[in-house]
Amino acid sequence: MDEETQSTMAAVGPRLKGLRTQRSLSLTALAEATGISLSTLSRLESGQRRPTLELLLPLARELRVDIGQLIGAPQTGDPRLHLQPITRHGMTVLPLTRRAGSLQAYKLIISPKMRSPEPEQASHEGYEWIYVLDGRLRLVLGDNDLIMGPGEAAEFDTRTPHWFGNADEHPVEILSLLGHQGERAHLRARTTPR
């Protein structure tokens, strides 16, 4: 067994003990719940017993963690679960999707720093939908200057010069959907079947 594998195996005991004590479980209670003997659990936590798949599976199930947490494996899997927020110029952008070439969804938290008496509008290819979750949003769209509150939405062709930011000295939270040029929202007007 190589050195890395040995150190991974040796770390299982302390991780197991940490998870068990976090959940306020005694060794006896964990032994009863998993069907693993008390002496085996004690030796596993102290490092005197090597972990096997037959031991790790019921332990992971009972502790409600995946086996990777017990052995200290690096996180892998669905990258959408690990998207990181990006903060620039007073705006925090949290990506909600990661599908190349399709509709992109973001949650934006805009600090009061984004207020501007004379905003600089920009334009680009695409179509955008904005929904205000909290706060007051100022949307400048061409010659229109709008103030939007919670529950209000706007959709526009992003080739139209536009800018958005805070309408006052409080943060504003919005959902933004950005799609391809020509892609439109499919709104459902009826709530009951005909």
The one-letter amino acid at 136: R
- What pLDDT was estimated at residue 152? 96
- Across the chain, mean pLDDT equals 83
CATH 2.60.120.10 location in the chain: 80-179
Beta bridge partners of 127: 157, 179
Rounded to an integer, what distance in angstroms lies between the CA atom of residue 152 and that of residue 90?
22
Beta-carbon contacts of residue 111 (< 8 Å; ≥ 6 apart): 90, 91, 92, 166, 171
Q: In the chain, what percentage of residues exceed pLDDT 70? A: 84
Displacement of CA 72 from its chain's centroid (Å)? 21
CATH 1.10.260.40 location in the chain: 3-71
CATH 3.30.2130.30 fits 3-71, yes or no: no
Is the predicted pLDDT of residue 80 greater than 50, yes or no?
no
Of the candidates 137, 172, 167, 171, the one whose C-alpha atom is nearest the C-alpha of residue 153 is: 137
Tell which wins on pLDDT, 16 or 9: 16
- What pLDDT was estimated at residue 1? 66
Rounded to an integer, what distance in angstroms lies between the CA atom of residue 116 and that of residue 169?
11
Could you read off the pLDDT of 148-190 as tens digits, one per residue?
999 999 999 999 999 999 999 899 999 999 887 655 555 555 5
- What pLDDT was estimated at residue 36? 93
Q: Is 115 exposed, middle or buried (0-12, 13-18, 19+ CB in 10 A)?
A: middle
pTM above 0.85, yes or no: no
Q: Are 68 and 50 in contact (CB under 8 A)?
A: no
Domain 80-179 fold? Jelly Rolls (2.60.120)
Q: In the chain, what percentage of residues exceed pLDDT 90? A: 36
Is the predicted pLDDT of residue 28 greater than 90, yes or no?
yes
Tell which wins on pLDDT, 32 or 117: 32
